[in-house]
Structure formats: structure tokens, C-alpha cells
Amino acid sequence: MLKFFARYKTFAIVFFILSVIIVYIIYTLKVPEERLPVYQPDMVNAELVDSTVQYVRKYHKIADFSLINQNGDTITQEYYKDKIYIADFFFTTCLTICPVMTDHMIKIQEEIKDDKEVLLLSHTVFPVADSVPVLKEYALEKGVIDEKWNLVTGDKKEIYDLARKSYLATKSTGDGGPYDMIHTENFVLVDKDRQIRGFYDGTDPQAIEDLMHDLKVLKDQYR
């Protein structure tokens, strides 16, 4: 009996290895690569989308912009060229959802601080009050890393148009006067082609975990 096993030992090892390879190939073929959707305005809750773009079904991209960050630098889409980024909307004196959202952005910043592919972008929805010095003080208080995270202010209409026409992220139009503000908890994942790849509740820890998972999936698509 021992001589029998000794004679077929090599065959058994080879057979086992081939079986493992075959099983792996079959599993790989059955499990498709995970890919994120490319969100178009007609795929999103119409309440979050400006009426001028509600029925757009393809080719939607984040519009060009020119805003000012916490250091007084002009930030345009060029800053985010060939980068993945996470965008949100906040204001420094918010006492409701914004502190939670900012805390989650800080955690994301910690995760991506050494990742050259990923940046953050937070737009104030209260530009009449959130001047450059105010944003700078807020950035210092929260530990914002300037190279990773821009807190931007600027023309209110431009910011609000970005929120509803580009990021598809808020129900309010904010057109009721200088103190009428949009309010949204949405974090938006944007790819290197300026396309929206995901929406996440910035107040929900589980949604932040989903965002980090999707960020990895998106990065893998560029490998």
C-alpha cells in the first residue's frame, strides 16, 4: 500500500494543484469585477437636481469652477485634474449636521493623507459669512491638511449652481436672499473624468465605510 501511494505521490500533487487552479479560474469567471455606476441627472432624485439638467441621461460632468480656498488661493477644476475627489457642502457656524460631516471628512483625510490620487473639496454654503480668514481659522481648528483638502468660498450663485447642476446634491435652491442657505448631508465621490460615482450620507458612519470601499473600487479601475 505504501509503495502504491509513493508511486502516485507526484501525480496526486500535480492533480491537486491543477484542481486548485481550475477552481480559481471558474470562481474568477463567475464573480464579475466590481464597478461603480456613473451617475447621470436622470438617475438621481429629481428634488436634488436643477430643472435645467433633470433629464440629462449621459455625458454629465462637474462644471468648471473658480473659487477661493482657506489660504486665499484660486482653486479651479485644474487643481483636481486627474484626481479622484470627495466633495461636500457645509458652513463653519452650522451646529446641526455640519460638525458630524466635518468629523467624517477629517477621518477620510487621515485615511487618504498619503494617497496622491485622492483629494477633498468642501464648499461653504454661507459665503457671505465664511470669508477666507474664517475658513482659515476653521481649517486650523479642524486640522485640515492644505495639500489634501480645500475649503472654498466665492460667489454664492456659482456654489449653489454647482450643488444642484453639477453635484446633484441638494433639494433647496437657496435663492430666497443672502441668508437663505442650501443644506445637504451628501458626500459626492467624483472620478478623474469629473463624473459622479457615488452619493453618501456624510452624517452616517456606515455610509462613510461604504464610501471608503467604493473609493478603493474606483481606484482599482484606474490600475
* CB 150, CB 63: distance < 8 Å: no
CB 127 within 8 A of CB 92: no
Answer yes or no: are the C-beta atoms of 191 and 84 closer than 8 Å: yes
DSSP string, 156-183: HHHHHHIIIIIS---S----SSTT----
Annotated binding-site residues for Cu cation read 94, 98, 183
DSSP symbol at 63 = P
Q: Do the Cβ atoms of 192 and 84 come closer than 8 Å? A: yes
Q: How far apart are CA 188 and CA 120, in angstroms?
A: 10
Q: Quick one: CA torsion of 206, 168, 141, 148, rounded to 10 degrees?
A: 90
Binding residues, as ranges, are 94, 98, 183
